[in-house]
Amino acid sequence: MPSPAIVGATEGAPLTVRTGFARKLFYGFAALALLSLAISLAGRWAGQAILMGGHSDDTSSREIVIGNDVLAVPANMIRFEAARRDGAAGRLDLYVRWPQMDGYSRAASDAFNHVDGDRSIIFVTLEPRMMSRDMSSRFDPIYSLLIEGEARPGPGGLAIHRFSPESGYVDEVLAVAERPGEEPFVMRCLAGAAAKQSLAPCERDIHVGKDLSLVYRMPPGLAGEWRAVEAAVRALAGRLLGEGG
């Protein structure tokens, strides 16, 4: 007859095995649950990132310093994700919707994603001023010497000038409009196939703030509204710089 000690050891073994197996099974299910939750959260994050496509609908302000100028810029106006932070920057790329002059939002996503060929976005770059003259001031000493032939009439009273082949401005034209009491409005635009491929082929630079150059690019369909666009861009720059509200 086996001793009690041997019997106890023999009968106790299955209970220990069953308890260990149950514990491992519990931990396995817990791990699977955590993994499932992690995959779900990652999927939601990835789906959100894909949906936003690099845009942000965050309207909170970022304080950005460029040289001697301080700007308060809504995050949803800042074009690139890496630049949506406070601090110093060498340049800042923005985009806004015409005519609202606002940044990205879910309601305006079609415009910012250029759905169905939509061209209503104005691109703005702010950077330290490198030249003492803006585009208007460069017309007489520079651009007037680089154009040739008779100008053709353009939208909104613009005169469209051809650049000479030696000018270096290949596939571009110069749009000029006289403004009583001030320097002419001057804008360079891509021409031909290059213009059709660009979302905003017309470019102009102005001086804003203390030492900033602001370059804005607009779709060709807005060329006839150049007065309103110029006023809106200057007003936007004033708001970002805290000048006059």
Closest-CA residue to 110 (of 45, 55, 44): 55
Cβ partners under 8 Å of residue 222, min gap 6 = 98, 122, 202, 229
Cβ partners under 8 Å of residue 160, min gap 6 = 151, 152, 153, 154, 173, 174, 175
Torsions phi, psi of 187, nearest 5? Answer: -150, 135
Question: What would the two tokens of residue 223 be?
Answer: 């060329």
Q: pLDDT at position 37, please? A: 61
Q: pLDDT at position 29, please? A: 64
Q: pLDDT at position 170, please? A: 87
d(CA 203, CA 59): 27
pTM surpassing 0.75? Answer: yes
220 and 202 in contact (C-beta within 8 Å)? yes
For residue 125, the number of C-alpha atoms closer than 13 Å in the C-beta half-sphere is 12
Q: pLDDT at position 169, please? A: 94
The gap between the terminal CA atoms of the chain, to the nearest Å, is 100
Catalogue the E-assigned strands of 11-155.
Answer: 61-66, 69-74, 87-88, 92-97, 121-128, 147-153
152 and 144 in contact (C-beta within 8 Å)? no
Question: What would the two tokens of residue 103 be?
Answer: 């940044």
Q: pLDDT at position 50, please? A: 43
Closest-CA residue to 163 (of 184, 134, 192): 192
Q: pLDDT at position 52, please? A: 55
d(CA 105, CA 60): 13
202 and 112 in contact (C-beta within 8 Å)? no
Collect the ranges in the chain with pLDDT lower than 70: 1-22, 24-30, 32-33, 35-52, 244-245
Backbone dihedral region of 110: left (phi > 0), alpha (psi from -120 to 50 degrees) or beta? alpha
Torsions phi, psi of 63, nearest 5? Answer: -95, 115
Q: pLDDT at position 26, please? A: 65
63 and 72 in contact (C-beta within 8 Å)? yes
Q: Residues 79, 81, 85, 90: is their CA dihedral positive or negative?
A: negative
Q: For the chain, what's the residue count?
A: 245
Question: What would the two tokens of residue 48 be?
Answer: 């959100």
Q: pLDDT at position 34, please? A: 72
83 and 75 in contact (C-beta within 8 Å)? no
Q: pLDDT at position 35, please? A: 66
Q: pLDDT at position 19, please? A: 67
Q: pLDDT at position 46, please? A: 43
Q: pLDDT at position 74, please? A: 98
